[in-house]
Amino acid sequence: MENLGVFETLREAIVETLPELEPADIRADDTLRDLGANSVDRMNIISETLEAQDLKVSMVEFGELRTLQEIVDLIEKKRAAAAQ
């Protein structure tokens, strides 16, 4: 994946893992579960997104998050903290 914004990177990871989805159908207020991702899919999507953003974040921190926007917000927060 090229260096994209977090949401775009997340969307690409979702489409790679769930190829039946169209990128245009993925919105920030969706949940991975609503999009059809099982627990392994969710872990892979988040791992791919973190790798593309060159970040290491414990999967436990994603446990309470629901929407894609919440995932993006956490990753952006971690990226900003890593840049300091």
CATH code at 11? 1.10.1200.10
Backbone phi and psi for residue 31, each to the nearest 5 degrees, phi listed first: -110, 155
The pLDDT value recorded for residue 4 is 64
What's the pLDDT score for residue 77?
95
- 22 lies in a domain? yes
Is 67 in a helix, a strand, or coil?
Answer: strand
52 vs 2, more confident: 52
Helical axes 39-52 vs 6-17, angle rounded to 10°: 140
Is the per-residue pLDDT at 1 higher than 80?
Answer: no
Specify the DSSP element, H or E, that contains 15. helix 6-17
Tell if the pTM clears 0.85, that is, is over it: yes
Range of the domain at 25: 6-83
pLDDT of 49 over the 90 cut = yes
**What domain count does the chain have?**
1
Q: Is residue 62 domain-resident?
A: yes
Tens of pLDDT, residue by residue over 4-47, are 699 999 999 999 999 999 999 999 999 999 999 999 999 999 99
- Is 28 inside any structural domain? yes
DSSP string, 19-33: TTS-GGG--TT-BTT
Is 1 inside a domain boundary?
no
